[in-house]
Amino acid sequence: MKAALIAAAVLAVWGAIEGFQIESESNAGDPYLVNVQPARLAGVMEAVPRTAVVGYVSDLQGSSAAAQAMFNSARYALAPRLLVEGTDRDWVLGNFAKPADYAAMAPERRLRVVQDFGNGVVLFGRAK
Amino acid sequence: MIAAASCLILAIALGCAAMSRPLGCLIGPQPRWAVIVLMIGAGAIFGIGATSILFFAADLLAPGFRWMELVVEITVLAWLIYASVQRRRKMERPDPEPIATPAESNLESKLPSRPKSANPKSPNLKSQARGPLNLMMAGALLVALTLATGAMSKAWDLNPQGNWDAWSIWNLRAKFLAAPSMGPNDAGSNTASPATAARAWSPLLTGTHPEYPLLLSGAVARCWAFSTSGSPMPDAVPISIGYLFFLSLIAVVTGGIAIARGSLAGLVAGLTLASTGALLHEVPSQYADVPLAAYLACSVVFLLIDRSIWRPIWAGVFAGFAAWTKDEGALFCVVLVILLAAVSVRGRSAWNHSRRPDLLRVILGMLPGTLTFGLFKAFLAPHGTAQFSAGTLSRFANGGRWEVVLAGVGSQIVSLGAGWLHPVFIVAAFAIGAGFRTDSRRDPYFPAFLCTALAAAMLGAYCVAMVTSPDDAAWQTGTAAGRLMVQWWPLAVIAMMVWLRPAEELAIVEPSAKNKRP
């Protein structure tokens, strides 16, 4: 019995050491850049009331992992504001991966640029 | 941060105080450390779950009066402490012979091996002879937990917001629940705007499962709500809650098995879980799978150590909390009720022990969690799952889907360990030393059959759920099977341990065997 218990203890500690090594080597730091979103979207958070439902427009479309990561990480950072797909809102977040002429693209979506915060973050409002 | 920690400590204190009544009476007949470890583990997850439900219900029923919820919690804690002190005083007084109620005495007489502190051959006395081995195993468990915590701390540093589902589902919804409540005209949007909390289950939350239950999100939200008046909400809260659930899972399984099958078996069970790589990997993810695993294991443990009329109720309470943690918890409730009902029907002839009272008590205990779950699904988030959509039967009958799912599940079970060392080897090493149980008259098989049937039924139910899911079977298995196995593995460990002979029995058998030698 004693030998069996020693074997069990040794196996368990061995497993824990292996687990420690694997976890230490495999941890990729913030692959979806969720941590940087609060700083990146700080201007929008100041400008938009916490109670708002905010529309969303981006140059990354569809269900690709990059587009989903960008949308969901922005949604998490902006909560309790509710970020929803589409531009039919009083406030619309522009979240872009590449620089573009935001003022030119706004009218075709019946939007106007409220403020360009840089780094691909633009706050649009509904065009009057 | 201090306010968040205080909220968490209040929840744990509340749970531990509530556990002192059903478990406190085991101190004496059972190893003191095991009872205390179980009390703290079960108490922590009970407290976190109960306060999460209270927070959710209070916000729905009385928005804007959150302080009322804290008042209720503190009042209940004070009452539990007062009742505990009174009970201790009463026990210290010399008491006349207790008169058992007919129902209680009937059940007690049927239950096997009620712990008797006066029995010189009781396991707790035997275990004292195995002190050094207990210490060695406890030391190994501490080393394994320290290593696990070290590995997790690196993940917490690098990725404090957890993995994808943490920030896109669980903690996102916690942020909505934690935000100060607003009136219906307060939201400033161009849609009908209910209170901010309702955003946690809004159909506008596309792609993030707003129909999922809210125990974990509610627990995180409760600490955030009482600790911050706005953003940023500290990442330390979901990290701490996830880690607490992990520690509680280890504590519940270690303490519960130690009470049911002896100290050494309990420590081996704890060691097995603490060195399960897949489980350790899930903790920093901040998903609901580890909390769910803790509730499932706790429910089974309370069925296993059943010695009073109250503990089946507690088993039901934890099963109900599992339902309010994840949909798989509701599946567990269904499986548990079906199994207990089947046993109840077969009754005395099959097990020599009627479990009908247990079934009713378990169902009664499930009510807080399952009612919250049911009302939420029925009235707040009816835009539910497509699990039972058209084509369920054809998917169920599709052999190709079964092949993919069974291969995926098998692969996840094989890769539960870290590296090539599978944690089942730890149980196997102990089994070689202890051997399998043989005497069903002194040590009835019923609890072992129940645990095994539960673990097997849950594994089968998970496979059926993945096969009938409307999603692609390979994608479904690839994304879900690993986490489902993390929920299931503690049940499997409990089921394996209950078939083994308590190591402490060898202390009695070995000397007598020696005496027979010429």
Out of B136, B161, B175, closest to residue A9 by CB = B136
Residue B386 pLDDT: 58
Please give the Cα distance from B97 to B105 (Å, whole number). Answer: 14
> Which of B152, B224, B276, B421 is most worth mutating to test chain A (most A CB atoms within 10 A of its CB)?
B421
pLDDT band per the 50, 70, 90 thresholds, residue B120: very low
Share of chain B above pLDDT 90, in %: 55
A24 and B193 in contact by Cβ < 8 A?
A: no
A22 and A72 fall within a common domain? no
- pLDDT exceeds cutoff 80 at B218: yes
Of the candidate ranges A7-11, B166-170, B194-198, B205-209, the one whose mean pLDDT is the lowest: B194-198
- In this prediction the ipTM stands at 0.94
Convert the pLDDT of each residue in B278-290 to its tens digit: 999 999 999 999 9
d(CA B156, CA B286): 10
A36 touches chain B (CB under 8 A): no
Q: Are B451 and B495 in contact (CB under 8 A)?
A: yes
**Minimum CA–CA partner of A49 in chain B:** B188
Q: Which of the residues A6, A11, A44, A93 would you substitute to probe the B interface, choosing the one with the greatest number of B C-beta atoms within 10 Å?
A: A11
Q: Which residues are paired to B436 by β-bridges?
A: B500
CB proximity A68 to B under 8 Å: yes
Residue A121 and residue A63 share a domain = yes
Q: How far is A117 from chain B (nearest CA, A)?
A: 20
**Closest residue on chain A to B208 (Cα):** A72
Give A54→chain B minimum CA distance, Å: 8
Q: How far apart are CA B209 and CA B201, in angstroms?
A: 8
- In angstroms, rounded to a whole number, what is the distance separating the alpha carbons of residues A28 and B159? 8
For residue A38, give the chain B residue with the closest CA. Answer: B232
Please report which confidence band the pLDDT of residue B126 belongs to, taking 50, 70 and 90 as the band edges.
very low
Q: Which residues of B touch A17 (CB under 8 A)?
A: 147
Examine the domain organization and report whether A9 and A46 are in the same domain: no
Write out the residue range of the structural domain in which residue A54 sits.
37-126
Residues A18, A43, single domain; the answer is: no
Q: How many domains does chain A have?
A: 2
Nearest to B264 by CA among B426, B414, B482: B426
Residues 6+ apart with CB under 8 A from B300: B256, B315, B451, B454, B491, B494
Chain B: nearest CA to A109, how far in angstroms?
17
Shared domain for A100 and A48, answered yes or no, is yes
Whether B358 and B103 have beta carbons less than 8 Å apart is answered as: no
Chain B contact present for A73, CB below 8 A: yes
What distance in Å separates the CA atoms of residue B478 and residue B249, rounded to the nearest whole number?
25
Calculate what percentage of chain B has a pLDDT beyond 70.
81
A80 closest CB neighbour out of B136, B196, B276: B196
Which residue among A8, A19, A76 sits closest to B430, beta carbon to beta carbon?
A8
Look at residue A59 and tell me whether its pLDDT is greater than 70: yes
Q: Nearest CB to A52: which of B189, B423, B432?
A: B189
- Nearest chain A residue (CA) to B202: A82
Residues A78 and A122 in one domain: yes
CB contact under 8 A, B433 and A50: no
Give residues with Cβ within 8 angstroms of B270, minimum separation 6: B141, B250, B251, B253, B254, B257
Q: Which of B136, B142, B154 to mutate to test the interface with A (most CBs of A within 10 A)?
A: B154
How much is the pLDDT for B306? 62
Q: Is A126 helix (H, G, I), strand (E, B) or coil?
A: strand
More confident residue, B247 or B390: B247
Q: Do B187 and A20 touch (CB under 8 A)?
A: no
Q: Per-residue pLDDT averaged across B470-497, rounded?
A: 94
Mean pLDDT of chain A: 90
Among the partner-chain residues B190, B196, B429, the one whose CB lies closest to the CB of A11 is B429
- Give me the mean pLDDT over the A66-89 stretch: 93
| Cα–Cα distance, B284 to A66 (Å, whole number) | 22
Work out the pLDDT band at B388, boundaries 50, 70, 90: low
Q: Of residues B374 and B444, which shows the higher confidence score?
A: B374
**Whether residue A67 is found in the same domain as residue A7:** no
Distance CA B123, CA B351 (A): 24
B451 neighbors B300 (Cβ within 8 angstroms): yes
Residue A1 confidence (pLDDT): 78
Residues A50 and A90 placed together within one structural domain of the fold:
yes
> Is residue A42 located within the same domain as residue A25?
no
Residue in B326, B356, B328 with CA at minimum distance from that of residue B341: B356
- Residue whose pair of structure tokens reads 């790589």 in the numeric block: B277
pLDDT of residue B383: 66
Chain-chain contact of A34 with B274 (C-beta, under 8 angstroms):
no
Which among A4, A34, A53 has the least Cβ separation from residue B433? A4
Residue A42 pLDDT exceeds 70: yes
Dump pLDDT digits (tens) for B62-103.
877 888 888 999 999 999 999 888 887 877 776 555 544 444
**Closest partner CB to B167 (pick from A5, A53, A73):** A73
- B30–chain A nearest CA distance, Å: 21
Q: What is the pTM of this model?
A: 0.89
pLDDT at B191: 37
Q: Show residues of chain A in contact with B154, CB under 8 Å.
A: 23-24, 27
* Pair A72, A19 in one domain: no
Are A64 and A106 in a shared domain? Answer: yes
Question: Per mean pLDDT, which range of B204-213, B244-253, B257-266, B281-290 is the poorest?
Answer: B204-213
Q: Are residues A7 and A61 in the same domain?
A: no
Give the closest of A15, A51, A52 to B423, CB-based. Answer: A15
On chain A, the residues whose CB falls within 8 A of the CB of B187 are: 51-53
Q: Give the pLDDT confidence of B134-166 residue by residue, as tens digits.
A: 899 999 999 999 999 998 998 898 889 999 999
Q: Residue B118 pLDDT more than 70?
A: no
SS3 breakdown of chain A: % helix, strand, coil, rounded to 5? 45, 20, 35
Contact list, A46 vs chain B (CB under 8 Å): none
Handedness of CA B474, B478, B482, B483 (dihedral sign): negative
Question: CA B357, B360, B366, B371: dihedral to nearest 10 degrees?
Answer: -170
Interface touch A80/B144, C-beta < 8 Å: no
Residue B187 reports pLDDT greater than 50: no
